[in-house]
Amino acid sequence: MKDYSESDKKIILKDYRGLLRASKKFRTTPEDTAYIRKAFNYAAEAHMTMRRKSGEPYITHPIAVARICTEEIGLGATSIACALLHDTVEDTDVTLEDIELIFGRREKRIIDGLTKISGAFDLSTSDQAENFRKMILTLPDDVRVIFIKLADRLHNMRTLGSMRPDKQRKIASETLFLYAPLAHRLGLNAVKTELEDLSLKYTEPEAYNEIAIKLRKSQEIRARFISQFISPLKKELDKTGLKYSIKGRPKSIYSIYNKIKKKKVTFEEIYDLFAVRIILDSKQENEKTDAWRVYSVVTDFYRPNPDRLRDWITNPRSNGYESLHTTVMSPTGKWVEIQIRSERMDEIAEKGMAAHWKYKDSKKKIESKFDNWINKIRDLVENKETDTLDFIDDFKLNLYAEEMYIFTPKGELRTLPKNATALDFAFDIHGDIGKKCIGAKVNHKLVPLNHILSSGDQVEIITSNKQKPKEAWLDFVVTSKARSNVKQSLKEEVKQVAEQGKESLKRKLKSLKVDYNDKNISELLKLYDFKNPLDLNFQIANGKIDLSKIKSIVVKGGILKYEKESVLTSLFRRKQKEAKKLDQGEIISSFGGKSSEAIILGDDSLKQVDYKIAKCCSPIPGDNVFGFLTINEGIKIHRTNCPNAVQLMSHYAYRVLKAKWKSQTLKEFSVGVEFTGIDGMGILNSLTNLVTGSLNINIKSLNIGSEAGFFNGNLNALVHDTKHLDDLMKEMKKIEGIKTVERVY
């Protein structure tokens, strides 16, 4: 600390003292405090010359991450020390060997899991996917790696305001795609909720701000409603002698945003903007009984929805979540969700797996569930052949999935995600059973492999040694274990066939006096436009490749040379080289030479490269957009809020290019608008008169269907830009009978 400036010292020491206060209950001995101090001093010295984008000394970041670990997740001294050290190996001259020598093997293993992978990456993947895979590979050994990484990501999201907009969107997209679901799966509800809200703040700033403002404005109304709703409950609960507290919690901005999108309703039409939580101060052996006593009191006053009862006390979720949920009708005609749980359950709900170890009596039950999940991850990890992006997709597949409970013929209870099939259940029992599965009996009735199970089903699997996995199975299995097993089996089959193609290729090269080596194979991949030798050999074996073409690229000395290279391939190669030198934010902005340049859209005189408008989101002038470098179709222009944007930015960040519109109103762009309302005379006539008459907008198509007094319509029109579209939608809402108007592409 001696070489820091006096002003920096004040900032750093203030943050460090805050960390010590937050970790007080976890520092049970003087040795713990000395151990944390040692890690702090070491990290402070290693990061001495570094500063954050905000201008603060860099060491304030590791201190903040350590504080999140202990204060918000509930981790102890080892995790605090590793959080302080987490960036030393990645960003300074410190090595893993240094960490092991000074702190120990355990700390080295954790820091190694937290250190980003380096080196070149395949064009079909991204460095973040590789980083995430490396982190997940450590999970079966030490879950603290994941907790610290989530704390690191949370602090980065909290301080994202100092970054450039393109970096903000990239980091927020990764967070929403991978880190928020992972926090959910580990039971870190508070972390998950904040990550989602912060991600939305940067990916959809307008929607985020609109909901945040409306929540603030309606705060007093909600508080008054909650007070009136819980008043009779408190009077009755006081008579029972139970110790409890009641609080109303608003839904997160992200969950409200999702409901608005999925249900196509307005903010005002969402009935369950908040939940009422009743938290009991009960002994662990009385928790279940007390929870049902409270449920009885609640349903004496308010009518419950029988389809919305969830008993996660008897059968906790696989992330350890325990609570009793019911939804009841309030006197004002609004549905209200009630959550009933103990203080122990509430802490676990917020802090997840890390909180379990405080409660020894429940540890065994929860540990077995966690171990089951870890075993599933281990199955994925042990599959060395899995492509990185397949691994990420398989891992992510069940992170958010709702759960259901299925019984074996002997009554063993197993947990599967909602919409799991009989084949998923077979793979859940064992990989070999899944591969040989030909059918199942569900509740003693014979069903096919793709039969979707329901919670409470009893399932018996029927197998045959003649059965083997088929590609069609991937169309209906939903669990990561089933998908990875099927993919691996199919790859093994492809390899066997490819070996035959490889031998055919060797014979052809031998006849041309060409060496079979890596360099020549690389030229063949360019000639036939394949990514890897496996695919090339497989197609050779299937007779889909004309091997006579090889003769055209033979040069002297048994060497192959393919000269022609497309502009797009050249651009891909340039971007791959940049990926080794620049961080992702610079890569995104490096198109065109200078970091400030971008693809200019809407003016042919300024167009540097050919591009196409993506059909999935149909951007128009005024939309925030980005370019995406595709493999076969050149550059596609997407809206930043395109349904595919999060996945593209997460998986292929290095292929994302800056783009912007040149202000113009000469061209017309096709957009789709969906509208709903109450059926009545003259709706269609009023709409066409407005669009083609008053607004002078060309209609490409217009469809309206009505049922039971309601209608749903779709309009495809030609507009100049987002302002033109906004004017159209505002005027449509003024037509009597039309209730909602929404852009769909």
Angle between helices 518-528 and 533-541 (to 10 degrees): 70
The answer to whether 6-211 and 669-743 have equal CATH topology is no
Amino acid (1-letter code) at residue 501: G
- Tell me which CATH code domain 6-211 carries: 1.10.3210.10
Q: Strand 413-417 vs strand 403-407: parallel, antiparallel, or unpaired?
A: antiparallel
Q: How far is CA 412 from CA 351, 429, 433, 442, 683, in A?
A: 29, 11, 17, 15, 58
Mean pLDDT of 712-735: 88
Percent helix, strand, coil in the chain, to 5, is 55, 15, 30
Q: Are 655 and 697 in contact (CB under 8 A)?
A: no
pLDDT higher than threshold 60 for residue 701: yes
pLDDT at 380: 57
pLDDT higher than threshold 50 for residue 592: no
- Give the start-to-end residue ranges of the domains of the chain: 6-211, 215-365, 488-560, 567-661, 669-743
Mean pLDDT of 11-34: 92
| CA gap 58, 45 in Å, rounded | 11
| CA gap 182, 186 in Å, rounded | 6
Q: Catalytic annotation on 307? A: no
Residue whose tokens read 């609640």: 298
Residue whose tokens read 């961080």: 583
Q: Class of the 215-365 domain?
A: alpha beta
Mean pLDDT of 288-315: 92
Q: Are 627 and 635 in contact (CB under 8 A)?
A: yes
Residue whose tokens read 């970054």: 163
pLDDT at 121: 33
- H helix count then E strand count, the chain: 30, 21
| CA gap 623, 721 in Å, rounded | 8
**Burial of 236 by CB count in 10 Å (0-12 exposed, 13-18 middle, 19+ buried)?**
middle
HEC secondary structure over 513-540: CCCCCHHHHHHHHHHHCCCCHHHHHHHH
Percent of the chain with pLDDT over 90: 31
Nearest to 731 by CA among 700, 699, 687, 696: 687
pLDDT higher than threshold 80 for residue 125: no
Mean pLDDT of 87-115: 91
Distance of CA 397 to the CA centre of its chain: 9
Q: Strand 335-342 vs strand 324-329: parallel, antiparallel, or unpaired?
A: antiparallel
Reported confidence tier of residue 139, pLDDT bands at 50, 70, 90: low
Angle between helices 30-46 and 6-22 (to 10 degrees): 150
pLDDT at 379: 61
Longest distance between any two alpha carbons in the chain, whole Å: 97
Active-site residue identified among 31, 90, 382, 492: 90
pLDDT in tens, 606-645: 455 678 888 888 888 888 888 888 876 778 899 888 888 8
Residue whose tokens read 């693809």: 599
Question: Within a 10 A sphere around the Cβ of 510, how many other Cβ atoms?
Answer: 12
Active-site residue identified among 32, 45, 56, 91: 91
Which is more confident, 364 or 225? 225
| CA gap 722, 726 in Å, rounded | 6
- Buried/exposed code over 68-91 (b: 16+ C-beta within 10 A; e: otherwise): bbbbbbbbbbbbbbbbbbbbbbee
Nearest to 672 by CA among 714, 631, 708, 636: 714
Would you state the structure tokens that stand for residue 679, as one six-digit string?
């059926």
pLDDT at 97: 94
pLDDT higher than threshold 60 for residue 583: no
Mean pLDDT of 487-492: 86
Q: Cα-atom radius of gyration of the chain, to the nearest Å?
A: 29
Q: Which fold has domain 669-743?
A: Alpha-Beta Plaits (3.30.70)
pLDDT at 128: 56
Mean pLDDT score of the chain: 82
pLDDT at 59: 95
Distance of CA 619 to the CA centre of its chain: 24
Q: Catalytic annotation on 432? A: no
pLDDT at 363: 44
pLDDT higher than threshold 50 for residue 595: no
Q: What angle do CA 179, 26, 18 make, to 5 degrees?
A: 75
pLDDT higher than threshold 70 for residue 531: yes
Residue whose tokens read 């906004």: 726
Q: What angle do CA 255, 258, 263 make, to 5 degrees?
A: 125
Find which of 151-165, 474-488, 514-528 is predicted with most confidence, using mean pLDDT. Answer: 151-165
Residue-wise DSSP of 235-280: HHHHHHT--EEEEEEEPPHHHHHHHHHHHT--GGG-S-SEEEEEEE
pLDDT in tens, 395-429: 655 555 667 888 888 888 788 888 899 999 999 99
pLDDT higher than threshold 80 for residue 567: no
Mean pLDDT of 525-538: 86
| CA gap 472, 425 in Å, rounded | 17
